[in-house]
Amino acid sequence: MKDNKKSFITKKMIKDAIRDSFIKLNPKDMIKNPVMFVAYIGMIITAILTVFPQIAGEGGRTYNFIVTIILFFTIVFANFAEAIAEGRGKAQADTLKSTKRDTKAKLLKPDGSYVIVNASELKKGDRVLVEANDMIPNDGEVIEGLASVNESAITGESAPVIKEPGGDFSSVTGGTTVVSDWIKVEITSDPGESFLDKMISLVEGASRQKTPNEIALSTLLVALTVIFIMVIVSLYPIANFVGVKIEVSTLVALLVCLIPTTIGGLLSSIGIAGMDRVTRFNVIAMSGKAVEACGDVDVMILDKTGTITFGNRLAAKFIPVEGVSEEEVIKYSLITSINDTTPEGKSTIELGEKLGFTVNKEEYAKAEFIEFTAQTKSSGMNLENGDRIRKGAYSSITAFVKENGGAIPSDLKDKVDDISKLGGTPLVVAKQDKVYGVIYLKDTVKPGLVERFAQLREMGIKTVMCTGDNPLTAATIAKEAGVDDYIAECKPEDKIDAIKKEQANGKIVAMTGDGTNDAPALAQANVGLAMNSGTIAAKEAANMVDLDSDPTKILDVVGIGKQLLITRGALTTFSIANDVAKYFAIIPAMFMLAIPQIKVLNIMGLNSPKSAIISALIFNAIIIPLLIPIALKGVKYRPMKPEKILKRNLSIYGLGGVIVPFIGIKIIDIIIAPLLKIIGM
């Protein structure tokens, strides 16, 4: 995965987040987070009791003030967690916005001339001329011309991309720049609706809505909060019955400590950070739901060409015909490829060098290079001594040999057919009237994919390769790549059928695509990752767009989605485990004076009821900012089966969530107990 952002958190982000933390104290913002809103109401109650302690018949103004201050910082820390996550998105949005400022466009008139206008004035259907060094003013389709386009403003990559009318490389994105030549573009979006505008809105978080998982967890937290409110309300008469007077501020503090404020304060920031984490790797998620769905993927459908394989057929083997040595076929194969700059020619030289054979290019400096053409279906060299060496298709080379009075080896046809059956491309090599052998070209599987597919299998994710190749070729590539299944001679409708079949079995399906014919399948899949270099139809159908146009990135996106879910689960586990420890800190300390037998539960040996409550309250506040880095960066994810992940998180965050508060509250109690005695508490 690629992380092209310079800094995780900057000083400006922290400064802005601190300011926003106080702005978010507005009740309209606070009520959006029910758990923290309860703490907010509690803070208001204790603040009123600080000023008017007689309302509840209490005289502990100092105690009420301390509780109010701690609750205030608890809420501010929770707001800070959300603000710092939003700040990172806003920083990315500012970078994207910079590509939109002061852009001019050459709006074409019916007579072919143009007038300069602001890009913001362009409407859907307008046609513009974009020449070298001009910025493309808005999303559109190339209708005329051919140009090299620098998409680094969007993708972060400096390598230009060729754009031309028709096909899968006709769409252009506003904010990118034409490097050479010219194109005429028909605008396909109205102002404010371009791909860049959508990116800015999504990255800023303005369009972020809670995901189903987040809503379910929020509902659980609200339910736990309601339960603890009922517990606290019931506790007051019970305390009176046993002769223990509990102040209202103490009940508020107890409630805030026992409700899941830790995850309540971090939940929003985890969701925002999930989308941000995807964006930092140059993938734009159209919703938080898409990122979350990645974490639940069961089946991954991958196109073969360009995703699993390089797409270019590269030299894999030199096969001599009967009566010819391997050295001879390698020698003449290399000579024909000296000036061949195609992937096939370069890979032939590289394969020969791997086998220990080299050709001195200077020896053939005066030789005539014959380029490949669609008519001749061959390429080669005409040497100074009159020798003519060729490599090419079986039909063209056999005709070439016969023209020179040569005979065709009896085993040549079988060797060519064997390569073709495997889905490879045979290049026959000959000199004048003699055939020397065949170069076996094959679509090579990308390095490292076998290991990555094995990791996906370990995670319980099934991989399915889709290809238009015949079943024999598909089986060969599938075995080499290590995918679990394949669909040969696959048509667009076959992809949709495969997705629907898996979904009917309750599976969550992900797939990649870039062409218009991929759009229906991208829309059908739970996670559709479209390539930015692809058509507008594909990008609109998908719920994620990869700005780098790297189809294999879906493997990384799945990891990010799983990391999001694991982070949310781990911090929820830690938060609830915290409550167990805080229960043992506060309840025994409150009742041990009236009920001496309960002292056995005072495991921490805290000094007094008030020091226990304030210590727990302080710990409850400071644990939120301490967990912000985990919420933003995510819990470290290792590919493994869900059962192992659950056991690992329970042992680390469950057990840790119980142990850490015991230690933290005890340390705080040791520090504040003497201070409380000094002020008479």
Within 10 A of 54 (CB to CB), how many other CB atoms are there?
9
Is 548 designated active site? Answer: no
Q: Which band of pLDDT confidence, cut at 50, 70 and 90, is reported for residue 172?
A: confident
Residue 574 φ/ψ region, left for φ over 0, alpha for ψ in the -120 to 50 degree band, beta for the rest: alpha
What does the block give as tokens for 391? 């490599």
Q: What is the DSSP string of 452-492?
A: HHHHHHHTT-EEEEE-SS-HHHHHHHHHHHT-SEEESS--H
What pLDDT is stored for residue 4 in this prediction?
43
Q: What is the pLDDT of residues 81-96, one digit of tens each?
A: 888 877 766 665 565 5
What pLDDT is stored for residue 361 in this prediction?
84
What pLDDT is stored for residue 196 in this prediction?
63
What does the block give as tokens for 306? 């360009």
Three-class SS state of 362: helix
What pLDDT is stored for residue 634 in this prediction?
83
Q: What is the pLDDT of residues 202-241, one digit of tens each?
A: 555 544 456 667 778 888 888 988 988 898 888 888 878 8
Residue 115 φ/ψ region, left for φ over 0, alpha for ψ in the -120 to 50 degree band, beta for the rest: beta
Element (H, E) at 250: helix 248-258
CA distance 179 to 486: 40
Three-class SS state of 415: helix
Would you report the helix, strand and coil content of the chain in percent, each value rounded to 5? Answer: 55, 15, 30
Q: What is the pLDDT of residues 513-566, one digit of tens each?
A: 776 667 788 888 888 888 776 666 777 788 888 877 777 777 788 888 888 888
The more confidently predicted of residues 671 and 200 is: 671
Q: How many residues does the chain have?
A: 681
Mean pLDDT, rounded, for 27-33: 89
CA distance 511 to 9: 32
What does the block give as tokens for 40? 């907010």
Residues whose CB falls within 8 Å of the CB of residue 186, separated by 6 or more in sequence, listed in order: 125, 126, 127, 140, 141, 143
The number of C-alpha atoms within 13 Å of 264 and in the hemisphere containing its C-beta is 32
What pLDDT is stored for residue 206 in this prediction?
44
Mean pLDDT, rounded, for 126-143: 89
What does the block give as tokens for 503? 């979904």
Residue 350's closest CA among 280, 278, 439, 230? Answer: 439
Q: Is the pLDDT of residue 114 over 60?
A: yes
Mean pLDDT, rounded, for 488-495: 82
The one catalytic residue among 139, 303, 518, 556:
303
What pLDDT is stored for residue 102 in this prediction?
58
Q: What is the pLDDT of residues 300-325, one digit of tens each?
A: 998 777 678 776 678 999 999 999 99
Q: What is the pLDDT of residues 437-477, one digit of tens each?
A: 999 988 778 888 888 888 888 888 899 998 877 787 788 88
Least confident of 31-40, 354-363, 484-493, 529-538: 529-538
CA distance 541 to 519: 5
Radius of gyration of the chain (CA): 34
434-445 vs 309-320, strand pairing mode: antiparallel
Which of the given ranges, 373-387, 401-415, 420-434, 630-644, has the highest pLDDT on average?
A: 401-415
What does the block give as tokens for 555? 């493997």
Mean pLDDT, rounded, for 477-489: 88
Which of the given ranges, 52-61, 93-102, 621-630, has the highest pLDDT on average?
A: 621-630
CA distance 216 to 251: 28
Q: Is the pLDDT of residue 627 over 80?
A: yes
What pLDDT is stored for residue 587 in this prediction?
77
CA distance 669 to 618: 10
**Residues forming a β-bridge with 427:** 439
CA distance 534 to 390: 37
Three-class SS state of 218: helix
- Give the chain's mean pLDDT: 82
Q: Is the pLDDT of residue 599 over 90?
A: no
Least confident of 184-188, 352-356, 398-402, 465-469: 465-469
What pLDDT is stored for residue 163 in this prediction?
85
Q: Is the pLDDT of residue 38 over 90?
A: yes
Q: What is the pLDDT of residues 137-170, one digit of tens each?
A: 888 889 989 888 877 655 544 456 788 887 656 8
